[in-house]
Structures are given as C-alpha cells and as structure tokens.
Amino acid sequence: MFAVFIDQDSPRTRYVLQEILSRRWNTALAIFTNWNEFKASNEFFKIEYTTEKRDDSHSFFIQRENIIVEEGVNEYFNPTTNAYHISENTKKHLSLRIKNIDLSHSEKSRMLSVLDEPYPCLFPNDGDLGFDLFSMAFYFLSRYEEFQRFEEDKWGRFHYKNSFVSELHYNPSPVLDVAIIHFLGLMGALEKIQLPFDVQPTVDIDIAYRFKGRSLGRTLLSTFRFPLHLPHRIWSYLSRKDPFDPNNTVSEYLKGQENQSRVFWLCSSKTNGANKQVQRKYPPFQSVIRSVDKQTNIGLHPSLSTSPISDWKEEKEWLEKTTASNITHSRQHFLHLLFPDTYHILQKIGITDDWSMGFAENVGFRAGTAYPFHWFDLSKNEETNLCIHPFCLMDVTAKNYMKLNPDQAIDVGRTLKELVFIFGGRFAFIVHNESLSEAEGWGGWKRVFNSWKNPKIAVTSS
C-alpha cells in the first residue's frame, strides 16, 4: 500500500515507517533507497522522505529532519513546534465517523467541533505536510525527552510538568495520532484504513484486602494507628467479608469486558514501605489471584525495589507458580518508569508487554498516542520487541492529583474517550480495587468508573 523513498537509511527511520505505516494498520510497506526502483514500484501511496524534493518527483514529499538519522541523545535538544488545522478531506472522513454513531445532535456537534481546533506539530518545515511527521513520531514514541535530564518527582518519576505535551496548551488529545490521521487524509489513504476503537479497563491491585492477610504485629500496629477503623475491622472479621476483596470489587466490575481487561498484581515478598500488599502466604490471596486469572487477563505489578532485577524476577516466578501460567505483561507500581533501565530489566526477566505508559499526576497521552507500539531503545539505537500499551486516565489522578469531583471526572473521561474514538485507538484507563470498593474516601466514585468502562461514546454526568 505504501512505498517510501529515503535518501539516508537508519534504524530510526525504518522503525518509525514500520510503526506508523505498516504495523499500526496491518498494511503493506516497501522502503526504497534506489530512486529508479521506487519510481517503478506499484504501491498505491508513494512518499519521498528526503532533505530536498527531487525535480522528477510526483510523490508526497515529507522533508526529513536530522534527528531521524542520528545516534545517541542530545541532552540540550528541544524540537521546534508549530500548529496546523486538520485537512478538509480528513475532516470529511472523520465527520462521517462521528455522524454514523447513535448520539444526540448536541453530542455530535460537540465532537465535530474538535475537528476545527488547531493541533500542535513538531519539526515544521517546507514539505508537503508542513512538518516532519516521522521525526515527530520518533520523538514521542522513543520517549526522547525522558532520556534527557529532567526534574524528578518525590518518587523519582518523570513529571507531567516536564513533558513536552504539558507545554503545548491544547486539548488533551493524542497529538501524534491526530498528526498521522491528518497526513493519511491529505494523501487520500484514510479511506483505505479502518480506524479501531475499544474501551480497555485495567485494574492495579496494590492491597488485596483492607483488613485481612496481615501478620499479627502489622494488624496491631494498624489498629493503634487508625483507631477509627476499629468498628470496620471488627465487622470484617465477624462477617468474614473485606471491602477491598477483589472477588467482590474487581470481578464484579469487569463482568462483560473480561476479554479486553487486565488485572495487575503486586506480589512482593517485602510488605513494607511503598509495597503494602498482604502476605503472599495468605491462602485467600493466592486463591483470589487464581480466581481472577480464570476470569480475565492478568499481569505483574513489579514492586518498588532497590534490587529490581532479582526482586522482579522472583515476583514474576511466584505469580507464575501461583497461577500455573506464563506471565509476560506488567505495569510498574506507582508508574515508576525510568528509561532505559526499567525496560531493560523487564526484557531480561521475560516481560514482552508493558502497560505503564501514562502520567500519574495528569490525564493525557504520555507518548502522544492511544495505540500500542514497539519500544525503540535509544541507548542502543535499535528497535525492540517490547510492546507498550498506553493509558490516558487513572482513578487516583482524577481524585487525588487533579482534585476532581465525580461529575467532573465523568466529563473528563467522556472527553478523552471521544478523542480516542475520533482518531482511533484504545481508551485505556486504570482503577484500583480500593477505589471500586467505595471505601477510604471513594464513596460515589463507582458511577465514575462505570461511565469510563461504558463502550458508549458519550456518557454525561447528568
């Protein structure tokens, strides 16, 4: 379907072309370094990706920037930016997508207005597109800015405020996806592609039970520290019920969406500090893991650790032994993701898919996309087989960081879901069994999470 002529070959160029022209859409791609062979090719959509357009070229010209053929990371590099409006052909195609869904006139009008807004682009130049889409894609997907120096938060994480996205001051759209769809519309290729959309609830289980599963010493300490919880603690013991119990919170919440969902288990042998999971030897804990594993997909929630290689390997092996299954998916506890170390360790212990790509303190698209993608390792200048699954929204983000009330959180979720629908991809979000329980300050939030998981596009707070 696509043929691309490049005047300088590089691992970065081939990675990006494969990622956004072939792997994302499952379409054919041919890359040429010989001009005559490129001209003679029969691919329907031809792209010339060079520094200067050739005199005998009749293909779509994207002017190449240097970042795509370089090696290493420039600590002081800062990409240039500009703004553009979605092309009329693209707007026409996306308008039909919106008009064909079952929504009220006002809801459709709200979604259509998104198509008239300006959107940011990186690496503006004089090519036919007006910017270097492939360098923009590489910058976002490789997480180039996270290989540069940045101010860490108290957990040692990459701040949302450090991100390039936070400086753009546009709507919280997946800016890379918008640019790609704009480009495909200009080329006339959008009609040949089916834009996907699905809703993907995911759950992190940091603390499986509110009261059960602790040692006697830990239980006594909690009782003295939180005396107001004593009536609830007594009720839990007498009734043999626990408000956080994943059998009642997670299993119930995921009914009907088991195939799209995934649950991540913190199973550290060290139950202290930031790793406050119940004791692994507690039989109901092992039992509930096996029960959820039969219901939906599961993954590892690697602990916060000063010895991650040995600890994460041991935790993975314990979870595999408990479930008698191979664990290849993970999400970092506290979203503690550092480049390239975290991904190097995950690869070493046999993880093939990571689900940590999102912000803790704000909503949005950390890598500019709502589509899964392969990670490019800048430290080795090579593509890897590690698949990254982005998310754009989390319960703790909405309530604790952004201080939203339930109605506001419903509306924020609706906006993000609509943006993902318009430009394609997965509306993936995170909740916890604690928040699903509506205990510990989460009263009234269950309806928020139900609205997020609802496959219907527009769900208002009213």
Structure confidence at residue 312 (pLDDT): 98
Residues 295 and 433 in one domain: yes
Indicate the residue among 76, 100, 129 that finishes a domain.
76
Residue 124 pLDDT exceeds 70: yes
9 lies in which domain range?
A: 1-76
Indicate the residue among 49, 76, 103 that finishes a domain.
76
Structure confidence at residue 462 (pLDDT): 37
pLDDT in tens, 373-390: 999 999 999 999 999 999
Indicate the residue among 45, 76, 107 that finishes a domain.
76
Residues 213 and 66 in one domain: no
Q: Is residue 461 part of a domain?
A: no
Q: Is residue 385 part of a domain?
A: yes
Cis? peptide before 340, omega within 30° of 0: yes
Residue 156 banded pLDDT, cuts 50, 70, 90:
confident
The total domain count for the chain is 2
Q: Is residue 355 part of a domain?
A: yes
Q: Is residue 134 part of a domain?
A: no
Q: What is the mean pLDDT of residues 66-84?
A: 95
Q: Is residue 89 part of a domain?
A: no
φ/ψ (deg, to 5) at 406: -55, -40
Residues 72 and 206 in one domain: no
Q: What is the mean pLDDT of residues 337-361?
A: 97
Q: What is the mean pLDDT of residues 147-171?
A: 85
Q: Is residue 183 part of a domain?
A: no
Q: Is residue 425 part of a domain?
A: yes
What is the end-to-end Cα distance of the chain in Å, rounded?
Answer: 46
Structure confidence at residue 459 (pLDDT): 45
pLDDT in tens, 190-206: 999 999 999 999 999 99
Residue 125 pLDDT exceeds 90: yes
Q: What is the CATH number of the domain that holds 362?
A: 3.20.20.370
Q: Is residue 67 part of a domain?
A: yes
